[in-house]
Protein backbone atom coordinates (compact mmCIF):
# COMPACT_ATOMS: atom_id res chain seq x y z
CA UNK A 1 0.00 0.00 0.00
CA UNK A 2 1.26 3.44 -0.95
CA UNK A 3 -0.06 6.42 1.01
CA UNK A 4 -0.06 9.63 -0.98
CA UNK A 5 -0.05 7.38 -4.02
CA UNK A 6 -1.43 10.08 -6.32
CA UNK A 7 1.37 12.48 -5.43
CA UNK A 8 4.72 12.98 -7.12
CA UNK A 9 6.78 10.28 -5.42
CA UNK A 10 3.83 8.05 -4.55
CA UNK A 11 2.49 7.82 -8.10
CA UNK A 12 5.93 6.91 -9.43
CA UNK A 13 6.17 4.18 -6.80
CA UNK A 14 2.71 2.82 -7.67
CA UNK A 15 3.65 2.70 -11.34
CA UNK A 16 6.96 0.93 -10.69
CA UNK A 17 5.46 -1.62 -8.32
CA UNK A 18 2.67 -2.48 -10.76
CA UNK A 19 5.20 -2.89 -13.57
CA UNK A 20 6.87 -5.53 -11.40
CA UNK A 21 3.68 -7.57 -10.84
CA UNK A 22 2.70 -6.35 -7.40
CA UNK A 23 -0.81 -5.68 -6.17
CA UNK A 24 -0.95 -2.04 -5.12
CA UNK A 25 -3.41 -0.09 -3.00
CA UNK A 26 -3.19 3.69 -3.26
CA UNK A 27 -4.52 5.82 -0.40
CA UNK A 28 -4.88 9.53 -1.16
CA UNK A 29 -7.20 12.40 -0.26
CA UNK A 30 -6.08 14.45 -3.30
CA UNK A 31 -5.19 17.52 -1.26
CA UNK A 32 -1.90 17.66 -3.15
CA UNK A 33 -2.11 14.44 -5.18
CA UNK A 34 -3.51 14.59 -8.70
CA UNK A 35 -5.80 12.23 -10.59
CA UNK A 36 -3.76 12.57 -13.78
CA UNK A 37 -0.75 11.04 -12.01
CA UNK A 38 -2.52 7.69 -11.64
CA UNK A 39 -5.35 7.79 -14.20
CA UNK A 40 -3.51 5.41 -16.52
CA UNK A 41 -3.44 2.82 -13.72
CA UNK A 42 -7.20 2.64 -13.20
CA UNK A 43 -7.67 -0.21 -15.70
CA UNK A 44 -5.02 -2.37 -14.05
CA UNK A 45 -6.68 -5.21 -12.08
CA UNK A 46 -3.79 -5.13 -9.59
CA UNK A 47 -4.40 -1.47 -8.71
CA UNK A 48 -6.93 -0.22 -6.18
CA UNK A 49 -7.57 3.40 -5.25
CA UNK A 50 -8.98 4.27 -1.83
CA UNK A 51 -9.94 7.93 -1.49
CA UNK A 52 -9.26 8.62 2.15
CA UNK A 53 -7.32 10.73 4.62
CA UNK A 54 -4.49 9.58 6.87
CA UNK A 55 -5.93 11.88 9.55
CA UNK A 56 -8.89 9.46 9.69
CA UNK A 57 -7.86 6.26 11.49
CA UNK A 58 -10.74 4.30 9.92
CA UNK A 59 -9.42 5.14 6.44
CA UNK A 60 -5.96 3.97 7.48
CA UNK A 61 -7.28 0.67 8.82
CA UNK A 62 -9.34 0.11 5.66
CA UNK A 63 -6.35 0.69 3.38
CA UNK A 64 -3.90 -1.36 5.46
CA UNK A 65 -6.07 -4.46 5.77
CA UNK A 66 -4.36 -7.49 4.24
CA UNK A 67 -1.31 -5.49 3.15
CA UNK A 68 2.24 -6.92 3.39
CA UNK A 69 4.18 -3.66 3.03
CA UNK A 70 3.35 0.01 3.47
CA UNK A 71 5.21 2.79 1.71
CA UNK A 72 4.16 5.93 3.54
CA UNK A 73 4.60 8.95 1.26
CA UNK A 74 1.58 11.02 2.33
CA UNK A 75 2.60 14.32 3.92
CA UNK A 76 2.32 18.05 3.60
CA UNK A 77 5.71 19.08 2.29
CA UNK A 78 7.30 22.52 2.06
CA UNK A 79 9.09 24.49 4.74
CA UNK A 80 7.27 27.76 3.84
CA UNK A 81 3.86 26.05 4.05
CA UNK A 82 4.67 24.73 7.53
CA UNK A 83 5.74 28.19 8.64
CA UNK A 84 2.48 29.66 7.32
CA UNK A 85 0.29 26.90 8.79
CA UNK A 86 2.11 24.82 11.42
CA UNK A 87 -1.11 23.30 12.76
CA UNK A 88 -2.08 21.77 9.42
CA UNK A 89 1.45 20.42 8.87
CA UNK A 90 1.36 18.83 12.32
CA UNK A 91 -2.10 17.32 11.79
CA UNK A 92 -1.05 15.61 8.56
CA UNK A 93 2.60 14.83 9.20
CA UNK A 94 2.40 13.82 12.87
CA UNK A 95 -1.18 12.78 13.66
CA UNK A 96 -1.60 11.19 10.22
CA UNK A 97 1.72 9.40 10.57
CA UNK A 98 0.74 8.03 13.96
CA UNK A 99 -2.56 6.78 12.52
CA UNK A 100 -0.67 4.93 9.80
CA UNK A 101 1.70 3.34 12.33
CA UNK A 102 -1.28 2.13 14.36
CA UNK A 103 -2.95 0.74 11.23
CA UNK A 104 0.28 -0.95 10.17
CA UNK A 105 0.68 -2.49 13.63
CA UNK A 106 -2.90 -3.73 13.71
CA UNK A 107 -2.66 -5.16 10.18
CA UNK A 108 0.60 -6.90 11.14
CA UNK A 109 2.40 -5.62 8.05
CA UNK A 110 5.87 -7.01 7.41
CA UNK A 111 7.51 -3.62 7.00
CA UNK A 112 6.61 0.06 7.18
CA UNK A 113 8.84 2.20 4.95
CA UNK A 114 8.31 5.93 5.31
CA UNK A 115 9.41 9.19 3.76
CA UNK A 116 11.69 10.91 6.22
CA UNK A 117 13.45 14.16 5.37
CA UNK A 118 16.87 15.76 5.16
CA UNK A 119 15.30 18.72 6.98
CA UNK A 120 15.87 16.67 10.14
CA UNK A 121 19.53 17.69 10.03
CA UNK A 122 18.43 21.22 10.94
CA UNK A 123 21.21 23.55 12.03
CA UNK A 124 23.91 20.88 11.99
CA UNK A 125 26.79 22.31 9.95
CA UNK A 126 28.49 18.95 9.44
CA UNK A 127 29.02 18.02 5.78
CA UNK A 128 28.34 15.52 4.42
CA UNK A 129 25.27 14.69 6.51
CA UNK A 130 25.53 11.37 8.34
CA UNK A 131 22.46 9.67 9.73
CA UNK A 132 23.60 9.60 13.35
CA UNK A 133 24.43 13.33 13.61
CA UNK A 134 21.57 15.83 13.47
CA UNK A 135 21.00 19.36 14.73
CA UNK A 136 18.01 21.37 15.90
CA UNK A 137 15.10 21.64 13.43
CA UNK A 138 14.72 24.98 11.65
CA UNK A 139 11.03 24.81 10.69
CA UNK A 140 7.73 23.26 11.83
CA UNK A 141 8.02 20.87 8.86
CA UNK A 142 11.41 19.66 10.08
CA UNK A 143 9.98 19.12 13.57
CA UNK A 144 7.20 16.94 12.17
CA UNK A 145 9.60 14.77 10.17
CA UNK A 146 11.88 14.27 13.16
CA UNK A 147 8.89 13.27 15.29
CA UNK A 148 8.08 10.65 12.63
CA UNK A 149 11.46 9.04 13.20
CA UNK A 150 10.93 9.01 16.98
CA UNK A 151 7.49 7.42 16.62
CA UNK A 152 8.78 4.80 14.18
CA UNK A 153 11.49 3.82 16.65
CA UNK A 154 8.98 3.59 19.50
CA UNK A 155 6.65 1.37 17.43
CA UNK A 156 9.52 -1.01 16.73
CA UNK A 157 10.67 -1.17 20.34
CA UNK A 158 7.17 -1.32 21.81
CA UNK A 159 5.16 -3.30 19.24
CA UNK A 160 7.80 -4.99 17.08
CA UNK A 161 6.76 -3.13 13.91
CA UNK A 162 9.68 -3.16 11.45
CA UNK A 163 10.27 0.29 10.00
CA UNK A 164 12.74 1.99 7.67
CA UNK A 165 12.93 5.76 7.26
CA UNK A 166 14.27 7.26 4.05
CA UNK A 167 15.60 10.80 4.51
CA UNK A 168 14.85 12.26 1.09
CA UNK A 169 17.17 14.96 -0.21
CA UNK A 170 15.47 17.33 -2.69
CA UNK A 171 13.78 14.76 -4.90
CA UNK A 172 12.89 15.80 -8.45
CA UNK A 173 11.61 14.26 -11.67
CA UNK A 174 8.57 13.41 -13.77
CA UNK A 175 5.12 14.26 -12.37
CA UNK A 176 6.47 16.79 -9.87
CA UNK A 177 3.99 19.63 -9.44
CA UNK A 178 4.82 22.81 -11.34
CA UNK A 179 2.06 24.97 -9.90
CA UNK A 180 1.18 26.73 -6.70
CA UNK A 181 3.01 28.70 -4.06
CA UNK A 182 4.74 25.59 -2.75
CA UNK A 183 5.94 24.03 -6.00
CA UNK A 184 9.45 22.61 -5.71
CA UNK A 185 12.31 24.64 -7.10
CA UNK A 186 13.15 22.54 -10.18
CA UNK A 187 9.67 22.36 -11.80
CA UNK A 188 9.13 26.01 -10.87
CA UNK A 189 12.38 27.01 -12.61
CA UNK A 190 11.58 24.81 -15.62
CA UNK A 191 8.18 26.44 -16.13
CA UNK A 192 9.66 29.92 -15.86
CA UNK A 193 12.38 29.13 -18.39
CA UNK A 194 9.97 27.51 -20.84
CA UNK A 195 8.00 30.77 -20.76
CA UNK A 196 11.21 32.77 -21.31
CA UNK A 197 10.83 34.31 -17.86
CA UNK A 198 13.64 34.81 -15.36
CA UNK A 199 13.55 32.35 -12.44
CA UNK A 200 13.95 33.91 -8.99
CA UNK A 201 16.87 32.47 -7.06
CA UNK A 202 16.67 32.86 -3.29
CA UNK A 203 19.94 34.38 -2.11
CA UNK A 204 23.06 34.75 -4.24
CA UNK A 205 22.80 31.28 -5.80
CA UNK A 206 25.55 29.79 -3.66
CA UNK A 207 23.23 27.68 -1.48
CA UNK A 208 23.63 24.03 -2.47
CA UNK A 209 21.51 20.90 -2.33
CA UNK A 210 21.90 17.18 -2.92
CA UNK A 211 19.29 16.99 -5.69
CA UNK A 212 18.05 13.43 -6.14
CA UNK A 213 16.33 12.00 -9.21
CA UNK A 214 13.08 10.08 -8.66
CA UNK A 215 14.42 6.76 -9.97
CA UNK A 216 17.11 6.73 -7.26
CA UNK A 217 14.33 7.19 -4.70
CA UNK A 218 12.32 4.34 -6.20
CA UNK A 219 15.41 2.14 -5.96
CA UNK A 220 15.78 2.96 -2.26
CA UNK A 221 12.14 2.16 -1.52
CA UNK A 222 12.36 -1.18 -3.29
CA UNK A 223 15.60 -2.09 -1.51
CA UNK A 224 13.98 -1.17 1.81
CA UNK A 225 11.06 -3.49 1.09
CA UNK A 226 13.22 -6.37 -0.08
CA UNK A 227 16.01 -6.35 2.49
CA UNK A 228 16.11 -9.33 4.82
CA UNK A 229 19.19 -8.11 6.65
CA UNK A 230 18.14 -7.63 10.30
CA UNK A 231 20.80 -4.92 10.68
CA UNK A 232 19.22 -2.94 7.85
CA UNK A 233 15.79 -2.39 9.42
CA UNK A 234 14.53 -0.10 12.18
CA UNK A 235 16.84 2.70 11.20
CA UNK A 236 17.00 5.64 8.78
CA UNK A 237 18.92 6.19 5.55
CA UNK A 238 19.98 9.18 3.52
CA UNK A 239 18.29 8.91 0.13
CA UNK A 240 20.34 11.04 -2.21
CA UNK A 241 23.04 11.16 -4.87
CA UNK A 242 25.91 12.03 -2.55
CA UNK A 243 26.72 15.11 -4.62
CA UNK A 244 25.74 18.77 -4.23
CA UNK A 245 24.77 21.41 -6.74
CA UNK A 246 24.41 25.14 -6.12
CA UNK A 247 21.19 26.86 -7.15
CA UNK A 248 23.10 28.86 -9.76
CA UNK A 249 24.60 25.67 -11.21
CA UNK A 250 21.15 24.08 -11.18
CA UNK A 251 19.57 26.84 -13.25
CA UNK A 252 22.44 26.77 -15.71
CA UNK A 253 22.00 23.01 -16.15
CA UNK A 254 18.29 23.54 -16.76
CA UNK A 255 18.98 26.28 -19.29
CA UNK A 256 21.44 24.01 -21.09
CA UNK A 257 19.05 21.03 -21.32
CA UNK A 258 16.01 23.16 -22.19
CA UNK A 259 17.87 25.11 -24.86
CA UNK A 260 18.11 21.87 -26.86
CA UNK A 261 14.35 22.24 -27.37
CA UNK A 262 14.23 26.04 -27.52
CA UNK A 263 17.46 27.94 -28.19
CA UNK A 264 16.03 31.20 -26.80
CA UNK A 265 16.07 29.75 -23.28
CA UNK A 266 19.88 29.95 -23.22
CA UNK A 267 19.59 33.74 -23.10
CA UNK A 268 17.13 34.01 -20.20
CA UNK A 269 18.70 36.04 -17.38
CA UNK A 270 18.67 35.03 -13.71
CA UNK A 271 17.12 37.13 -10.95
CA UNK A 272 18.25 37.01 -7.32
CA UNK A 273 16.16 37.70 -4.20
CA UNK A 274 16.39 37.31 -0.41
CA UNK A 275 17.07 33.99 1.26
CA UNK A 276 14.01 32.06 2.48
CA UNK A 277 13.29 31.75 6.20
CA UNK A 278 14.13 28.29 7.50
CA UNK A 279 16.46 27.35 4.64
CA UNK A 280 19.80 25.78 5.43
CA UNK A 281 22.77 26.98 3.36
CA UNK A 282 24.10 23.59 2.25
CA UNK A 283 22.94 20.01 2.09
CA UNK A 284 25.02 17.00 1.11
CA UNK A 285 24.37 13.38 2.02
CA UNK A 286 26.77 10.64 2.95
CA UNK A 287 25.17 7.58 1.34
CA UNK A 288 27.65 4.98 2.59
CA UNK A 289 25.18 3.48 5.07
CA UNK A 290 22.60 2.83 2.34
CA UNK A 291 25.28 1.34 0.09
CA UNK A 292 26.57 -0.94 2.84
CA UNK A 293 23.31 -2.19 4.37
CA UNK A 294 20.85 -1.95 1.47
CA UNK A 295 23.11 -2.28 -1.56
CA UNK A 296 22.06 1.16 -2.81
CA UNK A 297 23.69 2.20 -6.08
CA UNK A 298 22.18 5.43 -7.47
CA UNK A 299 21.76 5.06 -11.23
CA UNK A 300 21.23 8.73 -12.05
CA UNK A 301 23.60 11.63 -11.44
CA UNK A 302 22.10 15.09 -11.01
CA UNK A 303 22.85 16.00 -14.64
CA UNK A 304 21.40 12.73 -15.97
CA UNK A 305 18.29 13.18 -13.85
CA UNK A 306 17.84 16.79 -14.93
CA UNK A 307 18.11 15.78 -18.58
CA UNK A 308 15.38 13.16 -18.08
CA UNK A 309 13.17 15.51 -16.07
CA UNK A 310 13.47 18.33 -18.62
CA UNK A 311 12.53 15.94 -21.42
CA UNK A 312 9.41 14.86 -19.50
CA UNK A 313 8.36 18.43 -18.72
CA UNK A 314 8.87 19.54 -22.30
CA UNK A 315 6.86 16.65 -23.72
CA UNK A 316 4.04 16.85 -21.17
CA UNK A 317 3.70 20.51 -20.25
CA UNK A 318 4.84 22.65 -23.18
- The number of domains in the chain is 1
Can you say whether residue 160 is alpha, beta or left, with left for phi > 0 and alpha for psi between -120 and 50 degrees? Answer: left
Query: Which domain CATH number covers 158?
Result: 3.40.50.720
d(CA 105, CA 238): 25
318, part of any domain: no
Helix residue ranges, H only, 118-202: 140-159, 185-194
d(CA 222, CA 211): 20
189, part of any domain: no
Q: Specify whether 272 is catalytic.
A: no
Write down the number of H helices and E strands in the chain.
11, 13
Tell me how far apart the terminal alpha carbons of the chain are, to the nearest angstrom.
Answer: 33
123, part of any domain: yes
**Bond prior to 128 in cis (omega within 30° of 0):** yes
CB-CB contact of 54 with 33 (8 Å) = no
Per residue of the chain (318 residues), give pLDDT as tens: 999 999 999 999 999 999 999 999 999 999 999 999 999 999 999 999 999 999 999 999 999 999 999 999 999 988 889 999 999 999 999 999 999 999 999 999 999 999 999 999 998 989 999 999 999 999 999 999 999 999 999 999 999 999 999 999 999 999 998 876 666 889 999 999 999 999 889 889 999 999 999 999 999 999 999 999 999 999 999 999 999 999 999 999 999 999 999 999 999 998 998 887 767 788 999 999 999 999 999 999 999 999 999 999 999 887
d(CA 260, CA 183): 24
Question: What pLDDT does residue 278 have?
Answer: 65
307, part of any domain: no
CB-CB contact of 121 with 134 (8 Å) = yes
> Phi then psi for 123, rounded to 5 degrees?
-90, 10
314, part of any domain: no
Q: What is the DSSP string of 18-76?
A: HHTT--EEEEE--SS--GGGTGGGTT-TTEEEEE--TTSHHHHHHHHTT-SEEEE----
268, part of any domain: no
CB-CB contact of 152 with 203 (8 Å) = no
226, part of any domain: yes
272, part of any domain: no
How many CA atoms does the CB half-sphere of 294 hold within 13 Å? Answer: 28
Decide: helix, strand or coil at residue 125: coil
> Phi then psi for 200, rounded to 5 degrees?
-90, 120
Question: What pLDDT does residue 293 have?
Answer: 98
Of 114, 121, 141, 146, the catalytic one is 141
**Structural domain boundaries enclosing 115:** 2-172+214-242+284-300
Amino acid sequence: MVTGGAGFIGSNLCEHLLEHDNKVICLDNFSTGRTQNIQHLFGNPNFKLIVGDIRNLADCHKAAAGVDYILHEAALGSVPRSINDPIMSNDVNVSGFLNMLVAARDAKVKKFVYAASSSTYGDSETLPKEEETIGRPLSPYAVTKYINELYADIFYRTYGLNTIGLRYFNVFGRKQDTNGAYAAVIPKFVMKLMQHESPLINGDGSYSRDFTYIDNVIQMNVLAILTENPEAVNTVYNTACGDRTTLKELVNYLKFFLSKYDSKIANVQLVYGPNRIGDIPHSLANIDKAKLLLGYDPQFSVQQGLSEAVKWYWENLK
